[in-house]
Structure 1
């Protein structure tokens, strides 16, 4: 288990001498277990869910269902009624407050950072922090809605009790201010970090030889989770069809790397369109060594997403020196704040015609393509490196702890 924003935070803070302790709640242990996360060297605690949560699970097959219909699906009579009653409460029961407090004391933590403030575990962490007089911070990684009326009641109070909230997207920062009236000083816009040293510029010729792609091919790549609408893959397929029609004599190659719930839909769409030059690696790859050849072999990175929290995939591509063509999903305008000056072309979401035109512009102008690739790498180095993000995190956590006047445990 490595990669992603969480381990990026750990690496960024470690680079500045700030230690981190991972805490996970899991059904695989019956008592607290302390281990070491090997890739980062960080202590890792596995905590069992509370006994009340385990009892609730017997009556509620899907405790994190988004609505009553999903929670009671397949249930009848008293069981359906009990599931409906437990649905808003069950997510609050999973996090064991006393076990968490014990870990925080034992590890002498000076702050608690929670993944996603739009989750019941954040509200529980706020309660634990209040008891221990420990500052609680939380991040935004895409969750922006509640499952129940109970959450809506509790969440506003919890957010105002937090020492600070960390968001990468300016859109989310504005949502917090507008919906919850969170003071600006409690919100820090800090990007998710990327270890740039682990994403060095690659050997294009070697990557193409490895994948069997010709030197003369014009190659576009995408990687991520296959969710047709959310990730805009239907738009990319349509744009690719338009591009192929407009440039019938070019050796165009589209590399798709990823798997997900909508893999059957994507497979059907590709079969229906019968597009040329499409190669799909139907696997969700997390190993950088397996992803790198596809990124290194490409000329342009395509990012057609409609919905995102703050995307990591385009930043990985930028670190590899690839220019972007990206839809204006949340976070994209922060990554490419200056557009082409930061290494990419931003287009309107859902617009396949404009997306295809932007791809064609870069693929037909290799000089511009290389120039934007250099800018993309520079942007990744300056805005997303461990040192940059680590300094921002350290400063915000320290300031929040002082402002809350909390003691170190």
Structure 2
């Protein structure tokens, strides 16, 4: 089958350019892929430039960059919305050296102190966006918090949980706890496996599912985990299903989700689970504490420390209390869809773009 032709557009029709200069799929790339169609549906006129993006997204050719010297139709300036250093730097060249009428926006998801080079680049931006309050606290320039949102059409509860399990070849009479994402130490896949090895022998009605890819660099790490599972005799109850293109279907089949990361910039997996009606046990990294409600309106549990013991204790509370688990799942849907919609994210960015456009005039 021939590849889908890339949807190239005339830069004169575009008000916002979202560069993606990293070939390998990452969280940033995933954000662009999910957000740009929503922005255009809402009339924001956004196009992408760079490799590794689906052909159906509106693209600008590198050969057409010279057209950015001209103002866009119905606008004073364009916005160059970077999300990495390698995208901020070309924006500076286009604006400050080539003198193109551009405003530069940078979105930061980092939760660590920036390097001197990154701080310099960020200081030259016209606007800076933080994806969470925690990220905002690491920035030394004025910024606006616009949290990531979730696609409610893609991530939604199962109409029939039994049918959702059967479609994926999972036993409908069993309950399933999942851990989705790249298989590596940073993502805490080993914490999840260790917790399941301790929990599952006394809970025969539960099965664990690990969905995600281990790159070549982390293949030995994955093999070690699989060996550990076989040694525990749980290879039929801790399933490594690999990378899945229909991950939304896998969320709908779950009864509980674990986000065991040791470090995370933002972390969408808890939101994806919550939007699918699945309560979450998560480590206190990324934006997880801002996403997951605890206490009276509980949608899950945020661990006080990152350890197998803490994960076992928290997970057992939800595994063993069906009423609490179902109530948390219902509240998770309301919270994810009501507070973290992707349309809300797009509108938050639009307000920043509009302000810069007015300033450019």
Same fold (TM over 0.5): yes
For 1:113, which of 80, 83, 87 is the aligned residue?
A: 80
Instruction: Point out the structure with max Rg over C-alpha.
Output: 1
Which whole-Å CA distance do the structure 2 matches of 1:120 and 1:391 have between them?
A: 26
Cα distance change, pair 269–36 in 1 and its aligned pair in 2 (3 A): closer
Which whole-Å CA distance do the structure 2 matches of 1:253 and 1:337 have between them?
A: 25
8 Å CA contact retained: 1:8, 1:192? no
8 Å CA contact retained: 1:230, 1:306? yes
- Residue 2 of structure 2 corresponds to residue 5 of structure 1: no
Query: 1:249-277: CA deviations, max 9, x gaps?
Result: 52220011111222332222231243421
Which whole-Å CA distance do the structure 1 matches of 2:149 and 2:69 have between them?
A: 25
Q: Which residue of 2 aligns with 1:20?
A: 46
- Residue 263 of structure 2 corresponds to residue 297 of structure 1: no
TM-score (normalizing by structure 1): 0.71
Number of residue-to-residue matches in the alignment: 324
Query: 1:36-93: CA deviations, max 9, x gaps?
Result: 942x5x2x02427xxxxxxxxxxxxxxxxxxxxxxxxxxxxxxxxxxxxxxxxxxxxx
Q: Secondary structure at the match of 2:157?
A: coil
Structure 1 unmatched ranges of 5 or more: 27-34, 49-98
For 2:91, which of 106, 111, 125 is the aligned residue?
A: 125
In the TM superposition, residue 25 of structure 1 has moved relative to its aligned partner by 6.0
RMSD: 2.9
In the TM superposition, residue 280 of structure 1 has moved relative to its aligned partner by 0.8
Query: 1:273-305: CA deviations, max 9, x gaps?
Result: 4342111112x22x3xx3234222211011100
TM-score (normalizing by structure 2): 0.80
Query: 1:78-114: CA deviations, max 9, x gaps?
Result: xxxxxxxxxxxxxxxxxxxxx6353473755743233
Which whole-Å CA distance do the structure 1 matches of 2:208 and 2:308 have between them?
A: 15
For 1:252, which of 186, 196, 206 is the aligned residue?
A: 206
In the TM superposition, residue 136 of structure 1 has moved relative to its aligned partner by 0.8
Q: Which residue of 2 aligns with 1:138?
A: 106
For 1:281, which of 241, 255, 263 is the aligned residue?
A: 241
In the TM superposition, residue 5 of structure 1 has moved relative to its aligned partner by 0.9
- Residue 142 of structure 2 corresponds to residue 193 of structure 1: no
For 1:167, which of 130, 134, 143 is the aligned residue?
A: 130
In the TM superposition, residue 141 of structure 1 has moved relative to its aligned partner by 4.4
In proportion to residue count, which structure has more helix?
A: 1
Q: Secondary structure at the match of 1:138?
A: strand
Q: Secondary structure at the match of 1:302?
A: strand
Q: Which residue of 2 aligns with 1:53?
A: none
8 Å CA contact retained: 1:339, 1:346? no
Q: Which residue of 2 aligns with 1:152?
A: 116
